[in-house]
A and B are shown apart, each in its own frame.
Chain A
Amino acid sequence: MFTWPINLLVIFAITTPLVYTLGVKASIKKLVDVWAVIGFILSAISFYPLYLKVSSEKVLIHYWVGIQFRGVALFEIDMLSIFMAGLFIFIGLLTAIYSTRYMEHDTRHGEYYALLLLMVSGMVGVAFAGDFFTLFIFWEVMCLTSYVLVAFRKEQWEPIEAGFKYLVMSSAGSATMLFAMSILYGIVGSLNFAYMHKALSESVTPWSMISLALIVVGFGVKAAVTPFHTWLPDAHPAAPSSISAMLSGVVIKTGVYGLIRVMMLLFTPESYHWHTAIAILAVLSMTTGNLMALLQSDLKRLLAFSSIGHIGYIIFGLSIATVYGLTGSLFHVLNHALGKALLFLCSGAFLLAAGTRDLNQLAGIGRKMKITGFTFIVGSLALAGVPPLNGFQSEFMLVLAGLQVGASRNLWYLFSALMLINILFSVGYYLRIIQVVTLHEPSESVSRVKEAPKPMLFSMVLIAILCILIGIYPGPFVNLANQAAQSVLSVESFVKLIIH
């Protein structure tokens, strides 16, 4: 079967509707909520032995069908997979805890938690996949559940519209990826990453270039890299805030993970020279994201646009393709996931208390909800890259890596400069939302709001503490990101486990 973290998530996802029915029958409130949280906790616990095993063996191979069949249907788990999967499960756990109070005015909790658990299991599966067959199955599990979760509040018009747009664009991206996979299968004759690395790095043909382009489009749609980002600012605000935190925090990172894995392993930078193209996409993403975010008056829409900007920073790290650049990139994946999840959870708390997402009506709400307001400030400053917080560390690393590589590839001086300008832009709108939310006099619509309930506060405060902790003491986290980056670059150890 699929290693324990995924097994547990799937088992709990399947049993969730039963538990929900049981809870309704026995009229125990919150039974299903607790059940889902237990699922995430158990999955996180079972994740730890896997981490220990991988950190000692470097790469772990696991055939999930039980037999070896031409290198298909296997997990190939290295430090990058562990890094990403750990992040997914952690944010999933915090989101589930948050949802226990946030979703209590909604119905259909059984479906909600089943979908949430399945979505996380899909993401973990994508991170573990060692061939395109596995990757595609888990990818689609993740996509399908996220479509339904975006359109979860089906009685309103906005989630339905945004969900349909998201579904059409994202499944067109998936189909493009599938097309690329079929071409790669034609070139290589296998779906395994190791065989593909061998065949593709030996000879660069027009067909492999086409499949590279198609696969960048496929993953780029999910990661919301700029020309393919248009679904994101609609879909992320329309979802329930807990799901927005998942989508903006980790689901788009799955696309980034796919890009990193495929570009570094299959289409190696030495043979394919994609640096400049990816860097241009990165700069485009950050510019569009940050400029558009300046213009928004809807809080969640602003945050969604800033996600595009941050994806730009992360992709910029990939375009550098050195250990230092990838470390910065992966470290920023961690920091952005924490920061953006925190901001979306805070905006959810505001939404629940005041019933609006409009910035003008939310003015001064931070004064009424002191703890939420404080965590909101921490999250905004962290993402803006203000020194003692975590965002600064990774953004600094990325710019530094860009300048370092500029010595050999001069264009990167320009790209780094553009990234610096973008960071300054982003400070503009983060300071604006902080000013509106916490410094203005409370407006009429927020005059009677109360502090958010405890489980919601727990998630937010925990992430805020982590933001500060990583900012002050980044050592172990950078180390983890560094190990992940090194495992990305040590392609040979990944390949020789399959091809002896």
Chain B
Amino acid sequence: MIPINYYLATAIILYAVGMYCLAAKRNMIKLIIAIEILTSAANLNMISISSHAKPGAVDPLGHVFVVMSIVIGACVVAVALTIALYAYKHYGTLDVRELRRLRW
């Protein structure tokens, strides 16, 4: 079994990648992907911890939480894509720099 440290390191790297995307990317869809990456980092962390809770057993609590979190993440992405769609209708672009008042 792979030691838990590798999973934790991966989760932290994923979190950093997500934050970098949020800060550096200018495309609305990429920002939404960044949010998904951030949530995935937390989910991965939760799953890996729950699998290492006891040797030879998996803690169901972490899995319950992650299933819930995935469902909620899907809802957030649905709302975000809807808003991005309307923004595209208004401006004809997905570049957040083209939006007039947003100051990121």
Contact = CB atoms under 8 A, between A and B. Distances in A.
A133 interface: yes
Contacts of B9: none
Contacts of A376: none
Interface string A54-73: 00000000000000001010
A167 B79 contact: yes
Nearest to B28: A164
B71 to A, nearest CB: 9
Contacts of A157: 90-91, 99-100
B87 A164 contact: yes
B90 A172 contact: no
A163 interface: yes
B17 interface: no
A140 interface: yes
A179 B11 CA distance: 9
B61 A137 contact: no
A136 B42 contact: no
B50 to A, nearest CB: 8
B41 A161 contact: no
A158 B87 contact: no
Contact of A147 (B11, B79, B84): B79
A186 B59 CA distance: 11
A178 B68 CA distance: 12
Contacts of A234: 101-102
B35 A161 contact: no
A168 interface: yes
B24 interface: no
B76 A185 contact: no
B62 to A, nearest CB: 6
Q: How large is the interface on A (under 10, 10 to 19, 20 to 34, 35 or more residues)?
A: 35 or more
A175 B61 contact: no
A191 B65 contact: yes
Contacts of B31: 168
A155 B79 CA distance: 16
A230 interface: yes
Contacts of A179: 11, 15, 38, 41-42, 45
Interface residues of B, number: 45
B89 to A, nearest CB: 9
A163 B83 contact: yes
A155 B61 CA distance: 43
Contacts of A463: none
A172 B35 contact: yes
B97 to A, nearest CB: 12
Contact of B80 (A72, A136, A167): A167
Contacts of A116: none
Given A133-B65, A185-B49, A172 B101 contact: no
Contacts of A230: 103
Given A140-B72, A151-B86, A168-B31, A161 B46 contact: no
A221 B15 CA distance: 17
A171 B65 CA distance: 17
A176 B39 CA distance: 8
Nearest to A158: B101
Interface of B: 11, 15, 18-19, 22, 28, 31-32, 34-35, 38-39, 41-43, 45-46, 49-50, 53, 59, 61-62, 64-65, 68-69, 72, 75-76, 79-80, 83-84, 86-87, 90-91, 96, 99-104
Interface of A: 70, 72, 133, 136-137, 140, 143-144, 147-148, 151, 154, 157-158, 160-165, 167-168, 171-172, 174-176, 178-179, 181-183, 185-186, 189-191, 230, 234
Given A133-B64, A172-B22, 4 more contacts: A164-B80, A168-B32, A175-B18, A191-B61
Nearest 8 A-B pairs (CB), nearest first?
A175-B38, A178-B42, A182-B45, A186-B49, A182-B46, A179-B42, A140-B72, A157-B90
25 contacts: A70-B61, A136-B72, A137-B68, A144-B75, A147-B83, A154-B86, A157-B90, A161-B87, A161-B100, A164-B83, A168-B22, A168-B31, A168-B35, A172-B22, A172-B34, A175-B35, A175-B38, A179-B45, A181-B42, A181-B46, A182-B43, A182-B46, A185-B62, A185-B65, A186-B49
